[in-house]
Amino acid sequence: MVERYLKAGSLVEAMQFLNHYEGRARVVAGATDLWVGIKNHNTKAEAFVDITGVDELKTVEISKDYIRIGSGVTFHELEKNVQIQKNLRALQEAARWMGSPQIRRMATLGGNLVSAQPAADGMVAMSALDVAVEMVGPDGTKRRTLESCYKTFGESMIDSSREIVTAFVIPLHNQAHSYFGRFHLREANALPVINCAVGAWMKEDGSWESRYILAPLGYHPARLRAMEDALAGGLLEERELYDTIEKHIEELTFRTSLVRGSAEFRKQIAVQLMHEQIIRLWYNHEQEGESDAKH
Amino acid sequence: MQNIEFTLNGSQIEVSIDPRESLLHMLRNRLGVFGPKEGCGKGECGACTVLVEHNAVNACIFPAGKVDGLEVVTIEGLQQGEHLHPIQQAFIDTGAVQCGFCTPGMILSAKDLLDHHHKPSRQEIRRAISGNICRCTGYSKIIDAIEYASKDVSKS
Ligand SMILES: Cc1cc2nc3c(=O)[nH]c(=O)nc-3n(C[C@H](O)[C@H](O)[C@H](O)COP(=O)(O)OP(=O)(O)OC[C@H]3O[C@@H](n4cnc5c(N)ncnc54)[C@H](O)[C@@H]3O)c2cc1C
Ligand code: FES
Ligand code: FES
């Protein structure tokens, strides 16, 4: 039985509310996942702690070495943010395609993580960006890798009755680029048929590090590590690149969905989508050569 | 039950809500405001669109408790006395209304667009109403109406 809807004015107040209810309250951000669940009577809580009025969670800070994005930043704000457009292209593109205008006005990045949907657009993009997740809980603040925040399908390691995700911290690597692609049946529809993100940056020793992310596969955005290794040797001819992508994606197990298409259909879309994004990634690197531009 | 206060269409309101109630439920069932419609009830059709702090949101999945201290505008709040809002008038003038079920939501999505962007392209208009489904018109007249209204709104 829910007793109270509490609006926190600061992070300290939000934590006080959660501590007071000792695990029987639940964090609410944009509510775009939570309130669908509420209607289906899936959510058990004695109080809701709304964090959308907490200014500390709504900032985007940029320094020489990193961008720190508050967990309460909405997808609408992400799409419009000039620093994100300039430095984190994959995230900006994901924000552009995510949901409808109304959903983007409400939905936050923090909720996109804690809902733990494998194809959540914001988190697919984040997975290509070498991100760290910052949070606060009863034991103080801590940082986790993105992957370690997922428990199983639709379940997060983050306990939103006791912990609050505060920010996503993304290092500004040298010569970094990232892109995002998505295939959906109708724009503004919940979750895509397939989405993917790619990212690459130059390490201190001059070699390249890359990330190829595909979803939905498994219970979190899937990093295609074997394909990263296979493509680490340098630029390939376009046909050879396509064949390499196809070979790696062929080995993956996709789910058949009544709404979002058969496993075979998804596999074919995945190859096309990944190929398009890797072409964008490599082509831009070639164009910009040894410039010291970031992301 | 819990009391909240907010501004609805310019008037200060105090109402008692269930903390798990949606804004749509509160508006229709407690306050008798029937402009926002319930279509899908899960954020996908846009029939329930209202403005909260000038931004279009889906009232069906918006917690009622969230609007405490905020400003809410429904279709009922657009008309000024005898005068329809230019977007409402444009929908009539261009024949953009058939059954009318989607119309309040469409108009409020259009208002969000035109409040933030005075001269949108047709592509931008299409994108702004991509969260609103219309089963009757085929959308072209709705896009015409919003384009037509953008000329009036940018003059005022
Ligand atoms: C019609 C519709 C379309 C959608 N389309 C898309 C889409 O295209 N792509 C996509 O990725 N998603 C989509 N979604 C899903 C949803 O909008 C996103 O996952 C969104 O980012 C959730 O954020 P929120 O702020 O609304 O989270 P909420 O619903 O408020 O919360 C979700 C969960 O996260 C917890 N939580 C939220 N913030 C925090 C925090 N800071 N710390 C700890 N716990 C927290 C809550 O307790 C809850 O368990 C769609 C949803 C709907 C209804
Ligand atoms: S009724 Fe709210 S979006 Fe359909
Ligand atoms: S006019 Fe009937 S649904 Fe749009």
Check which CATH number belongs to the domain holding B29 and give it.
3.10.20.30
Contact A50 B63 (CB under 8 A): yes
- Which pLDDT band holds residue B154 (cuts at 50, 70, 90)? low
Q: Provide the pLDDT for residue A39.
A: 67
- Which pLDDT band holds residue A287 (cuts at 50, 70, 90)? low
Beta carbons of B111 and B9 less than 8 angstroms apart:
no
Contact A2 B20 (CB under 8 A): yes
| Cα–Cα separations (whole angstroms), residue A236 to A95, A212, A213, A225 | 30, 16, 19, 18
Residues B6 and B66 in one domain: yes
Residues B65 and B128 in one domain: no
pLDDT at A240 over 80: yes
Q: How far apart are CA A282 and CA A270, in angstroms?
A: 18
Q: Where are the domains of chain A?
A: 1-54, 174-282
Q: How far apart are CA A198 and CA A205, in angstroms?
A: 21
% pLDDT > 70, chain A: 94
B147 token code pair: 């384009």
Residues B112 and B143 in one domain: yes
Q: How far apart are CA A270 and CA A183, in angstroms?
A: 9
Q: Return the CATH number at B114.
A: 1.10.150.120
Structural domain boundaries, residue B127: 86-153
CATH, domain A174-282, list 3.30.70.330, 3.30.390.50, 1.10.3720.10, 3.40.710.10? 3.30.390.50
pLDDT at B74 over 50: yes
pLDDT in tens, A47-105: 999 999 999 999 999 999 999 999 999 999 999 999 999 999 999 999 999 999 999 99
pLDDT in tens, A255-275: 998 888 899 999 999 999 999
Ligand number nearest to the C-alpha of B133? 3
| Whether complex ipTM tops 0.90 | yes
**Closest approach of chain B CAs to the CA of A189, in angstroms?**
7
Residues B45 and B73 in one domain: yes
Poorest-pLDDT segment among A52-56, A203-207, B4-8, B129-133: A203-207
Report yes or no: A24 at the B interface, CB cutoff 8 Å: no
Strands (E), A126-226: 132-137, 140-145, 150-152, 155-156, 164-171, 174-183, 194-202, 208-215, 222-223
pLDDT in tens, B13-66: 999 999 999 999 999 999 999 999 999 999 999 999 999 999 999 999 999 999
Residues B71 and B94 in one domain: no
Instruction: Count up the domains in chain B and report the number.
Output: 2
Q: Provide the pLDDT for residue A246.
A: 96
Q: Provide the pLDDT for residue A294.
A: 31
Q: How far apart are CA A107 and CA A257, in angstroms?
A: 24
Q: How far apart are CA B95 and CA A104, in angstroms?
A: 29
Angle at alpha carbon of residue A125, lines to A275 and A204, rounded to 5°: 85
pLDDT at A253 over 90: yes
- Which pLDDT band holds residue A191 (cuts at 50, 70, 90)? confident
Q: Provide the pLDDT for residue A295.
A: 28
What number does CATH give the domain A1-54? 3.30.43.10
Do the bridges between strand A132-137 and strand A66-70 make them parallel or antiparallel, or are there none, so unpaired? unpaired
Q: Provide the pLDDT for residue A203.
A: 92
Residues B69 and B120 in one domain: no
Domain boundary among B77, B108, B141: B77
Domain boundary among B48, B77, B106: B77
A29 lines ligand 1 (CB under 6 A): yes
Domain boundary among B77, B110, B142: B77
Residues B112 and B51 in one domain: no
Residue A205 φ then ψ, to 5°: -80, 5
Residues B149 and B98 in one domain: yes
B41 lines ligand 1 (CB under 6 A): no
B133 lines ligand 3 (CB under 6 A): no
% pLDDT > 90, chain A: 82
